[in-house]
Amino acid sequence: MVHYSISSTELDNFPGSGLNTLMSKKHREIVQKQFTKTAEAFTEFAVRDTPEVLKEKVDFAKPQSADVALDIACGPGAFALAIAANVHASWGVDLTEEMLRRARGLQAERQILNAGFVRGEAEQLPFRDGSIDLVSCQCSFHHLPKPALVLAEMVRVAKPEGRMLIIDPLAPESDAKFELYNRIEVLRDPSHALTVRLTEFLRMFDEAGVDILRQSLRRRQRSFNNWMLRAGHARGTKRYLEARKLMEGSVAGDKAGFSPQLQGDDIQIVHNEGMFLLTRRALMA
Ligand SMILES: C[S@@+](CC[C@H](N)C(=O)[O-])C[C@H]1O[C@@H](n2cnc3c(N)ncnc32)[C@H](O)[C@@H]1O
């Protein structure tokens, strides 16, 4: 029997008084269907972040031992569980029950006592105003049709001196590449809303009244085959072949901004990932 040491003082509406919703029913269903189908791949055989990359992300957030952390759209809990050793308490929230089930399973396996996972929407977080020291969202912003609304929610639940961490791929600045980039992403995963550009993130931060404490741009190399597998498409399936055709067609001139390179029966692709540690803008006296 595992005895958890997390308390629920930060939680609002707990235990689950029904899912509040600011999402469209259609998009919510697409997300849940996609991530219920891919939860096993995500957790077991097509994992994205190596332990080294996860450590880099945790270190980037500069976690403090007294921090209460919250990772939104946490999936199977990779980030929330990785950061738990560095903070007082680590929460994860996600829409998809199957992802949460996997997160809790990994938590029990690793005997991590100061983490907790709850169901909720990023657009209307089941957490109290000003209750969290570090609110993160990694590799999920591109699934959110209303990213500015989610950023506002992150700011709402953060303490006045709290930090927000966003890690997400950045779309190409060129219009033609931007369009093809997002077309390939949606073909691969229908729950993909939009990957935005660096310039759009900077505009969103400005409008949300947050300043950047730290930022870093990383080139994350990935195997196309593994990336497709993580979205539920094995080699030779219809979606795989359609996405592969577009990706191969983009090689000459890097038309979609994935920097693709054919390698045996695979393609090496790159996601340009932005990491931003944010805080509320200090108001001038
Ligand atoms: C690509 S996965 C990323 C999971 C995790 N952040 C990671 O990096 O491994 C996207 C996750 O976002 C969740 N999600 C998508 N839209 C959401 C929303 N509006 N509110 C809460 N979770 C959402 C999905 O259920 C899924 O688990």
| Residue type present at position 49 | D
Residue 122 Cβ < 6 Å to ligand 1: yes
Secondary structure E strands in 139-224: 158-169, 210-223
The pTM of the full predicted model, rounded to 2 decimals, is 0.94
Sign (positive/negative) of CA torsion 56, 103, 221, 145? negative
User: 25-171+191-220+271-280, superfamily in CATH?
Assistant: Vaccinia Virus protein VP39 (3.40.50.150)
pLDDT in tens, the chain (285 residues): 445 677 778 888 654 444 556 788 899 999 999 999 999 988 988 889 999 999 999 999 999 999 999 999 999 999 999 999 999 999 999 999 999 999 999 999 999 999 999 999 999 999 999 999 999 999 999 999 999 999 999 999 999 999 999 999 999 999 999 999 999 999 999 999 999 999 999 999 999 999 999 999 999 999 999 999 999 999 999 999 999 999 999 999 999 999 999 999 999 999 999 999 999 998 766
Contact call for residues 158 and 128 (beta carbons, < 8 A): no
The per-residue pLDDT for 84 is 98
Least Cα distance to 192 among 67, 29, 10, 30 occurs for 30
**Residue closest by Cα to atom 9 of ligand 1:** 75
Residue 277 Cβ < 6 Å to ligand 1: no
How far is 143 from 279, CA to CA, in rounded Å?
A: 23
CA of 122 to the centre of ligand 1 (A): 9
Residue 144 Cβ < 6 Å to ligand 1: yes
Nearest ligand 1 atom to the CA of 78 is 9
How far is 37 from 276, CA to CA, in rounded Å?
A: 30
Residue 99 Cβ < 6 Å to ligand 1: yes
Residue 96 Cβ < 6 Å to ligand 1: yes
Nearest ligand 1 atom to the CA of 167 is 8
CA of 280 to the centre of ligand 1 (A): 24
The per-residue pLDDT for 16 is 44
Q: Which residue among 94, 118, 137, 191 is best mutated to probe the pocket of ligand 1, counting the most ligand atoms within 8 A of its Cβ?
A: 94
Residue 243 Cβ < 6 Å to ligand 1: no
Report strand pairing: 210-223 vs 266-280.
Answer: antiparallel
